[in-house]
Amino acid sequence: MDGVGVEAKMVKKVALLMGGLSVEREVSLSSGKACANALREIGHEVIEIDVDKDIAAKLKSIEPDVVFNALHGRFGEDGTIQGLLEILEIPYTHSGVLSSALAMDKHQSKIMFKANGIPVADHIIANRAEIATKHIMTPPYVIKPVCEGSSVGIFLVKEEQDHPVQEILSADWRGGEELMVERFVPGRELTCAVMGNVALGVIEITTDLHFYNYAAKYEKQGSEHIIPAQLSQKVYEKVQQLSLKAHKALGCKGVTRADFRFNDYANNDGDLICLEINTQPGMTQTSLVPEIAAHAGHDFVETVAWILEDASCNR
């Protein structure tokens, strides 16, 4: 983030994409409002767009200089909107088509991580009907949609739980037919942001809930963030190294955030597992990336300004 100040380098017409069609719509609206305010503070013309299926026509009508992508989840974070922006030849923020698609697909990203020496938890991909019928992995394990974020649709199956999760069979289920069943890694929740190929600080997240779920992420006092995470220097630096390695393994751009579980009782060095990488991390008042950036000396406006200046096509 060297050389980026709080003043806009050049006033731009910014189309800020937010809301959208995914289950993370409300979080995206919060991220979008915060980023729009920050960009206006440094002089940019910002047009907020609640994304719908007519987004291509809207962008053609507006003719923005650049798109700030504040969408989360499907269609905004999975390479879909990125492909459209490439076709329209409008510079945009965050990661490109392929890296976004890979990161959104937890199964494919874990294949890439494993190939690059990044430790991941064992998992099985199975149909939700099968998962609801029997334990296809010895508990404890975690059930999660393959292509969702913000801990939406995640269930922890405890060791003493006799019956599989039935909620995934509900009529309003939006997590897809194929789900991931993943070995539960006990221990501490850690996360680290990467900006411009530089790994920033590491946060430890604590919560009174069973795990860091949607409520813990977005409700007031749902979790506590400890920065810098109280880890040995060796483990702290390893989290940073693996975060940068994951960022590069998928070819990510701009800002990302990698999430980890750390079981410091497993052995002398502990059991450090990479859960996933987020290419469109939240930018709300309780979001982790702004907090990590602030700890590194970059306030919210400066961070948003940097993300915008990093925008391009062919990402």
Residues carrying an active site annotation: 24, 150, 218, 257, 259, 276, 278, 282
Q: Contact, 1 vs 39, CB < 8 A?
A: no
How many Cβ atoms from other residues are within 10 Å of residue 167's Cβ? Answer: 12
* The one-letter amino acid at 75: F
Separation of alpha carbons 247 and 101, rounded Å: 13
Phi-psi region of 190 (alpha: psi -120 to 50; beta: other; left: phi over 0): beta
How many Cβ atoms from other residues are within 10 Å of residue 206's Cβ? Answer: 12
* The one-letter amino acid at 215: A
CA nearest 71: which of 109, 27, 101? 27
CA nearest 238: which of 267, 196, 272? 272
Distance (Å) of CA 72 to CA 184, 207, 234, 244: 25, 23, 33, 21
Phi-psi region of 196 (alpha: psi -120 to 50; beta: other; left: phi over 0): left
Residue 203 exposed, middle or buried by CB count within 10 Å (0-12, 13-18, 19+): buried
* The one-letter amino acid at 226: I
Burial 122-161 (b: 16+ CB within 10 A, else e): ebeebebeebbeeeebeeebbbbbbbbbbbbbbbbbeeee
Quick check: helix, strand or coil at residue 192? strand
